[in-house]
Each structure stands twice: as structure tokens, then as C-alpha cells.
Structure 1
Amino acid sequence: MTEATTETPAPGSAPGAPGHDDAAGPPHPILEGDRTASWLGLKVRRLDDGHATTTMTLREEMLNGFGIAHGGMIFAFADTTFALACNPHTGSADTITVASGVDVNFLRAGIPGRTLTAVANRRQQSGRSGLYDVQILQSVPGGDDEVIAEFRGRSRTIPKR
């Protein structure tokens, strides 16, 4: 996959993107109070039913003691993208979809200053349970993006409280 920014954003996608009304606020209702996503600098590039693509830049304060991406930062980035794919961008009055479990495999070091892209896709939905894959890539100067982690999330739709 090349840069996610080359994709055509869906209506309701990232602020500043075609099809998004910047005055309407965040492109997804779950981002309204999500301080973690804001701190991460997460940008929504595309939203569709069962799909989300996001980006963020790996900053110095996101690194571990080895000077590479902290696994928790990669997890939080993937988990937020997973949540965006699981929940309709129009919102729901009655339900929310949350993680019931995840597995993550770290494959390569995340390098400071690089742009990370998370691409989440629904693989299966059965009743209130779902299965999603999230691939996390990082930009490579002068080359193709490389996969740095794979995240598999299991979702459960529950009543809103």
C-alpha cells in the first residue's frame, strides 16, 4: 500500500477532506471526547461501514527507552482505528461496539518522525460479535510503506448506558 492520503476520502471523513463539513466537528462521534486520539494526533483519512483508515506522526514522546515506538502507542493507535471501524460514523442511539479481546504482533520498529497509517477492516460479523484486522504501516522515505504491526480485534456490540 502506498500513502493513505492518496485514497479518496468517504463523505464524513477527515476534516479538510472533500465531503467533510469542517464546521460539523469530528468525523466520528466517538472522537468528540477522545482525548487520547487527540493527543496521538490521529487523523481520520477514510471511514466506511466496517472500515477505517487513520494516520499519525510518531513523535519523540511516543518512544520507549530504545528510541523506537513504544508498543503502547502502536496499540492505542490501532485500537482507536479498530473502534472507528466497529462503530457507525453516524452514531447509534442504542448501542456501542467495544473490544472483547485483541491480539497484536509487533513486526518492525516504529521510527521517530515517520507517518504511521492504520487500516482496519471487518473480516466477519455474526450477531453482536465481530472480527477485525488492523494493519499498521510506517512511511519509508523514497520507498513503499512497511508493515510494523498486525492487530486482530474481536468486537462485541452492547447496549449504551
Structure 2
Amino acid sequence: MTEQSADELALHCAQTMFATDPCSQHLGMEIESVAAGKAVMTMRVQPWMLNGHGSIQGGMLFTFADSAFAFACNGYNKVTIGQGCSIDYLKPAFAGEFLRARARELHRGGRTGTYDVVVENEAGETLALFRGRSYQVKGSILKEENND
């Protein structure tokens, strides 16, 4: 059996997680790319995601950024959860807009990590800035194969 590169491992972890992630799937999110400590997700704003002002509800943007954060920090085959996060909303999005969330690892050491996620519209304008802090718990994403 050949050893996977760090980026191949991250992709395999993301595919495994996404297959059992009904929330991200229901919201129409897709994984555009994944590498060690990085993830890019996409999503189109649906009419039912709008608030009373006609723009995307902040919780939807938060969930979108949070999913990108999750895929970025779980790519090492170690179950990693959010320890805390914050978001700054800079610009609204509207029904039909195509969004991209780019997550990247700033620091990872011991059981903790820090990640930034930039949410952009299709014009490349920044809509939100998200910072997540992760914590590694027991368990792995991938089922270990027994090659006896």
C-alpha cells in the first residue's frame, strides 16, 4: 500500500466527511478543492436563504464559512471540532449569487488550530471574514484498514 500525500489525505477525508454531512448537502454546498489545511467550498444563494431585507441571512453565511473551516481543519485524519469562531459581515449577497468560501490554516500545533475563511461573491468581492479555532478530539475520519 502506498502512502498518501498530505493533500491526497485531506481530499479523502473531505470526501468521506461530505458523504455524511446532510447540512452542507442540503444547503447545496460543494467542495471545489481541498488540500492540507485548506478548503474551498461553493454555494448558490437560494431564495429561501434570504432574510426580511432580501439578502442572505447571516446564519447561512456563517454556516457556509463554518463548513469550509471544518473541511480545512479535518484534513489530517484527526477528528477536529470548532472550539470557537467569529464572523464579520461586510457586504450582502442576494438570491442567485454564486458564493465561494476559501479556508486556510494560519496555525496548527498540539490539539489546536486557527483558520481564516474569506467568503466572496462571483465578482470576487469579500462578503464576510470568519475566524475559527479548532480542537482535536479522539478519533479519525477514515476507517483504518486492517492489512493482516
Which residue number in structure 2 is paired with residue 98 of structure 1? 81
- Verify the 8 A CA contact 1:13 1:46 in the aligned structure 2: no
Q: Deviations over 1:39-71 (max 9, x none)?
A: 111111110000000101001011111110000
> Which of 131, 140, 147 is matched with 1:152 structurally?
131
Pick the structure with more helix per residue. 2
* Higher RCO (CA-CA < 8 Å; seq separation 6+): 2
Equivalent residue pairs, number:
134
> Which of 70, 82, 91 is matched with 1:108 structurally?
91
Q: Secondary structure at the match of 1:122?
A: strand
> Which of 43, 60, 78 is matched with 2:30 structurally?
43
Distance 1:13 1:155 in 2: 16
Q: Which ranges of structure 2 fall in alignment gaps of 5 or more residues?
A: 1-6, 141-148
- Verify the 8 A CA contact 2:14 2:71 in the aligned structure 1: no
Distance 1:12 1:114 in 2: 31
Distance 1:55 1:28 in 2: 15
Deviation at 1:112, TM superposition (A): 1.3
Root-mean-square deviation over aligned CA pairs: 2.3
Cα distance, 1:27–1:122 mapped onto 2, change above 3 Å: closer
Q: Deviations over 1:84-119 (max 9, x none)?
A: 00012xx73xx4100000010000011211100000
The percentage of aligned residue pairs carrying the same residue is 33
Q: With the length of structure 1 as denominator, give the TM-score of the two structures.
A: 0.77
- Verify the 8 A CA contact 2:33 2:39 in the aligned structure 1: yes
Letter of the 1:147 counterpart: T
Cα distance, 1:13–1:80 mapped onto 2, change above 3 Å: same
Letter of the 2:45 counterpart: L
Q: Which ranges of structure 1 fall in alignment gaps of 5 or more residues?
A: 1-9, 15-23
- Verify the 8 A CA contact 1:28 1:84 in the aligned structure 2: no
Letter of the 2:115 counterpart: Y
